[in-house]
Every structure is written in structure tokens, then in C-alpha cells.
Amino acid sequence: MRSLNLIDSWVQTCSIFNGSSSSSFVGLICKTPMKCSKPNFKIHRRARLSSSSSSSSSSCFSVSAVVTKEEQETLGEISSGSDCFNFKAYMGEKADRVNRALDESISVKTPPTIHEAMRYSLLAGGKRVRPILCIAACELVGGDESTAMPAACAVEMIHTMSLIHDDLPCMDNDDFRRGKPTNHKVYGEDVAVLAGDSLLAFAFQHIASATVGASPARVLAAVGELAKSIGTEGLVAGQVVDIASTGAKDVGLEQLEFIHIHKTAVLLEAAVVLGAIVGGGSDTQVEKLRKFARCIGLLFQVVDDILDVTKSSEELGKTAGKDLIADKMTYPKLMGLEKSREFAEELLAEAKQQLEGFESYKAVAPLVALAEYIAYRQN
């Protein structure tokens, strides 16, 4: 019987919709299938995946946080053939619409300083992975982008809040974010704290007041899901344990997973689940997408840890190697670089397995591609 350990236990604890999922999936981005094994996944499994799972001549991606120039070109243009999903165009179009919606959501008004500080970090760029995941999940279950957009923006507001607060001297003490000075370096620590607080509050106001096309019950469920994901059962829990674990020598894999499932993965999960809820997804669909999101959320952190020790600050757009300097436990530090990459492969395969049953190639392709992108990104 397959065990997802912390992933399963969190899904059972966190779920607002009660459902089940017990299938596997080998993803398709092109109509030519990507060769991929179906491992009996276990979160602590250390065995290397078979060679067929990591690459093939027909696959649009390979799984690695450090890739060749040719592989980067493959990611940018998944295929010139008409049968392939154009990931680059999709991300560009969705990110543009998300950026416009974020820009329109918060205007500069009295008092101007706080609104300028909110906009400074919210509109500082970024890949917009979380809001795009929200929109893709909504569309997968039959909803419209316009219905998902307020929830997508709300998730990005909360993500931005977490970055502003994470960068503060009392937390990670970082000077740069997305290639720009951090919020407190521009506006001061006091205003930065308040800007984060304001984004957090406004996120809930925005999803509650701006969502159109979803029933009040679904909007309420989405609000509850988002609130749970950032409190003491979610992001805050991960942050607190992360702080307490800094410098500790006895941090094991289970504790490291707890930190990152709560600190990083939970907001990616919220993005996907919110999209599925407001899009009209069934209980079963919501729970399958929850597990998909939990896998890619943990994958995001594993890749982040790899990039932190293999890329420069200029390449990352933030301070490289800061976890090592702060004596924080990371996957490469605990498992080694190669085992961390293998673990990323396993998480990617399991994420894809959760998408079986969503039969529309056109609808599934964005989430498959986004999962590959998270595994494949360079910053």
C-alpha cells in the first residue's frame, strides 16, 4: 500500500472537502508520451529511480535543477510541433493577466507610503507560479479564469507578505529579493511589517468581495482554506519550527519535511485547492489536486535548496548560500546533492500520478508543465 507519510496526514488534517484519491498518472505534455516509471512512492524512499524515469528522446523536459543550455532551450520552447503544449506562451499570457489584476487591485491612496510599499513588493516581478497554478486548477475542473483571478491574486498577496516578513532582520535578514532591495531596505522595518500585514488583510477582503461566478459557499470554503494554510496549522507552523531548528545538529528528514511542507508547500497547495474549489471541482477532484500540489510544493523546496548551493546571487535574484551561512538544515546538507535530485524526481513522478482521471489533455497540460517547470527552473 502506497504511503505518502506527512503528505497523507496533512491532507487528512487540512482538508475542508473530504475525498479520496488512489490512482497513478504518467503525464503527457506532448501526445508522444514521456517515458516515466510508476514508483511505489514513499516520501522517505532513497532508491534511485530507473533510468527510464529521468529522460528520453521524446520527453519535453528532464528532471534536474542544474541543466544544460540545450535543456534550457527545450524548456523555453517545449516543441515547435502543433501537438505540444506551448508552455512559454501560456506562462507569458497568464502572468501578464495576473500582473494586470494585481496592479488594478491595489492603488496608491491615503496614506500613500503604505500603499506604495505594498505595491513595491507585490509588483516586483516574479514567476507568478502560485496564481497561475490557481487559474490552471480552476480551468481543469471546468471553471473560468475570471472566477479564479481574485483567489489567484489573494494567494500572491499572501506570498508577497511572507517574503517581506521573511526578509526582515529578525527573520532571514536578507537585503535583496527578486533582484531588488528588500522592502525594509527601501521603506524601513516598521513600514515593511505594516505592508506585509496590509497585504495579508487585503487578500481576504479581495477574494471575498471580488470573486464572481462561484457560489457563496464555495467562496467561504476558499477563504477558510486560505486562512488555515497560513496560520499555526500552515505557514506559521513551518516558520516557527524552522527558526527553532536553525543551528541544531539533530534535525532529521521528518522534521525537515515538516518545516517545508508547512512553510513552503502549503501555500502552493492553497493556490491549487482554491482554484479547484471556486472552479466547481468535486470533492474527489479537490483532494486529488491537493495531493498533486503538496508534492510539487515539497518539490519546489527541494529544488530551491539545490539552487541555493549551485547558483550565484545574480542568477537567483536573491542571496545565494544564505541557508548554509545561517546553519540551516537543507536537503543537500542532509541527503547530499545527488540524492536530493533523485528525491525531486520521485516527487515529480508522484505529482503527475495524482492527475489521472482528468482526461482532457488540453486542461491537464498546464499543470503537468508547471510541475515540470518547478523541477526544472533555474532561479
Q: Which residue has the higher pLDDT, 215 or 39?
A: 215
Do residues 295 and 7 lie in contact, with contact meaning Cβ atoms separated by under 8 Å? yes
**For cell 516520501, what's the residue?**
43
Query: Which contacts qualify for 87-90: CB closer than 8 Å, 24 or more apart?
Result: 87/29, 87/366, 87/369, 87/373, 90/366, 90/369
Q: How many CB atoms lie within 10 A of CB 314?
A: 9
Q: DSSP letters along 279-313, please?
A: TT--HHHHHHHHHHHHHHHHHHHHHHHHHHHHS-H
Q: What are the beta bridge partners of residue 180?
A: 177
The average pLDDT across 137-151 equals 97
Specify the amino acid at residue 239.
Q
11-35 pLDDT, tens digit each: 444 443 333 333 322 232 233 333 3
Of 199, 195, 192, 187, nearest to 168 by C-alpha is: 192
Torsion of CA 338, 341, 347, 352, to 10 degrees: -130
In this structure, what C-alpha cell is assigned to residue 31? Answer: 501526445
**What is the pTM for the complete model shown?**
0.77
**Segment among 46-50, 179-183, 232-236, 339-343 with least mean pLDDT:** 46-50
User: Under CATH, domain 87-376 is a member of which superfamily?
Assistant: Farnesyl Diphosphate Synthase (1.10.600.10)
- Amino acid at residue number 123: L
User: Which residue from 259, 296, 283 is spatially nearest to 130, judged by alpha carbons?
Assistant: 296
Q: What is the pLDDT of residues 148-183, one digit of tens each?
A: 999 999 999 999 999 999 999 998 888 999 889 999
Buried b (16+ CB within 10 A) or exposed e, 339-353: ebbbbbbbbbbbbbb
Give the residue carrying C-alpha cell 527541494: 302
Among 15, 19, 16, smallest CA distance to 220 is for 16
Is a pLDDT exceeding 50 seen at residue 188?
yes
Nearest CA-CA partner of 113 in 59, 225, 192, 8: 192
Instruction: Find all residues with CB under 8 Å of 93, minimum gap 6, and list them.
Output: none
* Residue 137 pLDDT exceeds 80: yes
By the 8 A CB rule, do 340 and 306 touch?
yes
Task: List the domain boundaries for the chain.
Answer: 87-376
Cis before residue 181, ω within 30 degrees of 0? no
Confidence of residue 1 (pLDDT cuts 50, 70, 90): very low
Amino acid 6: pLDDT = 40
